[in-house]
Amino acid sequence: MIGYVTLGTNDLPRAAKFYDALLAEIGAGRFMETDQFIAWAVSPTAPGLGLTKPYDGKAATVGNGVMVALAMDTPGKVDSFYKKAMELGAKDEGLPGPRGDSGFYAAYFRDLDGNKLNCFCMK
């Protein structure tokens, strides 16, 4: 159902460098790009993640309660993705580990602009 999710940034080159390195961890690369917008996906027909400078010209801000969740297929991939995010300067919002007893395994972090992301798998 989801085609893509877009996050705002005030520094597109800096954010692009972060996401180029981070999303390469899961095999995603750039598939669409303008001077205001970049989108990554594992294929052009799969859901993607985009970054944009706000269209209205105002500063990008973080949405309270907004989070992007990126699906992984193993806890090891959750661990390595989270580790890569930390190496790239992300801020921890929750170490990798099980959440509850439903088999949900996740980690949480904020990107360089403060956007909250989650990487997860179902064990």
Could you read off the pLDDT of 10-57 as tens digits, one per residue? 999 999 999 999 999 999 999 999 999 999 999 989 999 999 999 899
Quick one: tokens of 49? 């993640």
pLDDT of residue 30: 97
pTM for the whole structure: 0.89
The pLDDT-based confidence of 118 (bands split at 50, 70, 90) is very high
Q: What is the pLDDT of residues 55-113, one digit of tens each?
A: 899 999 988 889 999 999 999 999 999 999 999 999 999 999 999 888 999 999 999 99
- What are the chain's domains? 4-55+66-122 (3.10.180.10)
Tokens 């930390």, residue? Answer: 86
The Cβ of residue 3 has, within 10 Å, a number of other Cβ atoms equal to 10
What is the enclosing helix (H) or strand (E) of 49? strand 48-52
